Amino acid sequence: MTEFKNDPRKLSADEKLNLLVEFGARISSELRLDKLLDIIAQQITRMLDVGRCTIYLKDAEKNELWSKIAQGRGLEHTEIRVPLNGNNVVAIVARTGQTINMPNAYEDPRFSMDVDMVTDFRTHSLLAVPLKNNSGKVLGVFQVANKADGTPFDKKDEGILLLLATLASSSIEIAKLYQDVHVSQLETIYRLAVTAEYRDQQDTRAHLKNISIISYLLALALGMNKKEAELIKNASPLHDIGKVALADNILLKPGRLTPEEFEIMKSHTIYGGRILEGAHSKVLQVAHRMSLYHHEKWNGTGYPKGLKGEDIPLEARIITVADVFDALCVSRVYKKAWKTDDAYLYILGESGKAFDPRIVVAFKKIYSSVRKLYLNQTPQNTESASVSQKPPVPTKEKSSLEA
């Protein structure tokens, strides 16, 4: 694939046609909105040989135009927001659906110097065209500034930018829809997780946040890429979804569970697996493995299936360490909170027994970052152990170490 970088030489007609073909191929397969906008902006920068390209999209809820992509000096990865009812160029183009071409931007009252004032870029000429979908609805604005040869934008430039906007509109709509669905899915996952956790957690949100962050850091420390780590982070809150099937007299019992009650408690893994089995979503597939196997132990003494070693799914081995550590560090109805360093010692001591030794090594690497999570979460009624002693054993069999 061609790297779309600003090129001082003029492109021939054949080169521009090739870029258009490649442009269509690349944007049709990209569902990540930010990445898609980046590809589009790079292509526009290359084809029109301009100093800056900015893509604005409508935010109907806030009645604004926003941009997170701005190719050009001083604006990389900067978010820009413009009121839709404003009198500047992009707002007018978004409202009217008309093209605006400014040969001398600073002499035009419709041009706003706000962005130039906070960067080292000075706009001379400017061209802005509407981004419309197939039904003619304006989705946003494509704006370019300063041709490399110093000449104003002409009708050919307008035509090319309008063509690119037309080619890009459907891909942008699909990517926005995909992003909205993804965000909605994550919100649903989080709310389901809160439903499962809040019954025996004093601070459900803190617990879900902590295990998500720890799981994410562990995944990265194990060598996973960011996308894989994000999948584990997003799935981790659902590991205990099976708790919704347990009765309060067992889940909230302040004393030791009887052997019969403990068997019922252990069934939350089976219920969680049943709730999530057969999911088509990747994040729910990961959550299924976490919920079903997060109480399996490396040495084969866990449940529900007594899996051993690498027969336990990696995602489950990761969430086990994250969940046990956080559960030890917070108060629950049946236990006091441990100090973080005591909980850390416990994790190290269970290497090769409850936990995968490789994940314990990864936990050692990230512990300084993990420890900071709990600095502002000072627990009350904290149990502690001396350095020379093994951390205190939970007084209840249904602690997170077992259930």
pLDDT reading at 271 higher than 80: yes
Q: What is the pLDDT of residue 391?
A: 42
Which of 149-153, 221-225, 280-284, 374-378 shows the lowest mean pLDDT across its residues? 374-378
Whether residues 107 and 245 fall in one domain: no
Is residue 1 scored above 50 in pLDDT? no
Closest CA to 356 of 295, 288, 299, 290: 299
Per DSSP bridges, beta strands 126-132 and 100-102 are: antiparallel
Q: Are residues 274 and 328 in the same domain?
A: yes
What CATH code is carried by the domain that includes residue 113?
A: 3.30.450.40
pLDDT attached to residue 310: 96
CA dihedral 163, 164, 167, 171 (to 10 degrees): -160
Q: How confident is the model at residue 346 (pLDDT cuts 50, 70, 90)?
A: very high
Specify which of 81-85, 204-208, 244-248, 293-297 reaches the highest per-range mean pLDDT: 293-297
Question: 173 and 235 share a domain?
Answer: no
Q: What is the mean pLDDT of residues 19-31?
A: 64
pLDDT of 362 = 97
Tell whether the model's pLDDT for residue 286 goes beyond 60: yes
Q: Name the residue among 294, 296, 321 with its Cα closest to residue 222.
A: 321
Q: Does residue 312 lie in a domain region?
A: yes
Residue type, 212: S
Q: State the pLDDT confidence band at 394, using cuts at 50, 70 and 90.
A: very low
Domain of residue 286 covers 198-373
Length of the chain, please?
A: 403
For residue 47 the two structure tokens come to 């084809």
Residue 56 · residue 141 · CB < 8 Å = yes
Q: 270: which residues sit within 8 A by CB, 6+ positions away?
A: 242, 292, 304
What rounded mean pLDDT belongs to the chain? 79
Highest mean pLDDT among 78-82, 162-166, 274-278, 310-314: 310-314
Q: Classify residue 382: in a domain, yes or no.
A: no
pLDDT at 363 over 80: yes
Domains identified in the chain, total number: 2
Same domain? 161 vs 282: no
Burial category of 339 from C-beta neighbours within 10 Å (exposed 0-12, middle 13-18, buried 19 and up): middle
Q: Are residues 80 and 206 in the same domain?
A: no
On the question of pLDDT at 69 being above 60, the answer is no
Take residue 85 and report the two structure tokens written for it.
């009812």
**Are residues 117 and 211 both part of a single domain?**
no
Give the CATH number of the domain where residue 355 resides.
1.10.3210.10
State the pairing for strand pair 138-147/70-71: unpaired
Domain-embedded: residue 285: yes
pLDDT in tens, 302-321: 999 999 999 999 999 999 99
- Asked if residue 3 is part of any domain, the answer here is no
Q: Is the pLDDT of residue 296 over 90?
A: yes
- Domain check: are 211 and 345 in the same one? yes
pLDDT in tens, 114-145: 777 767 788 899 999 998 877 788 888 889 99
Whether 244 maps to a domain, the answer reads yes
Indicate the range of 4-13, 58-67, 95-104, 116-125 predicted with least confidence: 4-13
Report if residue 226 sits inside a domain.
Answer: yes
Same domain as 231, residue 365: yes
- Between these two residues, 156 and 23, which has the higher pLDDT value? 156
**261 assigned to some structural domain:** yes
Same domain, 114 and 218: no
pLDDT, residue 333, reads 61
My answer on whether 140 and 221 are in the same domain is no
Give the pLDDT score at 201. 53
166 and 128 inside one domain: yes
pLDDT top residue among 59 and 23: 59
Confidence of residue 187 (pLDDT cuts 50, 70, 90): low
pLDDT in tens, 26-60: 666 666 767 777 777 877 888 788 888 888 988 87
- The reported pLDDT for the residue numbered 36 is 73
Highest mean pLDDT among 41-45, 152-156, 291-295: 291-295
Three-state DSSP string of the chain: CCCCCCCCCCCCHHHHHHHHHHHHHHHHCCCCHHHHHHHHHHHHHHHHCEEEEEEEEEECCCCEEEECCEECCCCCCCCEEEECCCCCHHHHHHHHCCCEEECCHHHCCCCCCHHHHCCCCCCCCEEEEEEECCCCCEEEEEEEEEECCCCCCCHHHHHHHHHHHHHHHHHHHHHHHHHHHHHHHHHHHHHHHHHHHCCCCCCHHHHHHHHHHHHHHHHHHCCCCHHHHHHHHHHHHHCCHHHHHCCHHHHCCCCCCCHHHHHHHHCHHHHHHHHHCCCCCHHHHHHHHHHHHCCCCCCCCCCCCCCCHHHCCHHHHHHHHHHHHHHHHCCECCECCECHHHHHHHHHHCECCCECHHHHHHHHHHHHHHHHHCCCCCCCCCECCCCCCCCCCCCCCCCCCCC
- So what's the pLDDT on residue 396? 37
% of the chain at pLDDT higher than 90: 31
Largest CA distance in the chain: 84
pTM of full prediction above 0.75: no
400 lies in a domain? no
Do 139 and 202 share a structural domain?
no
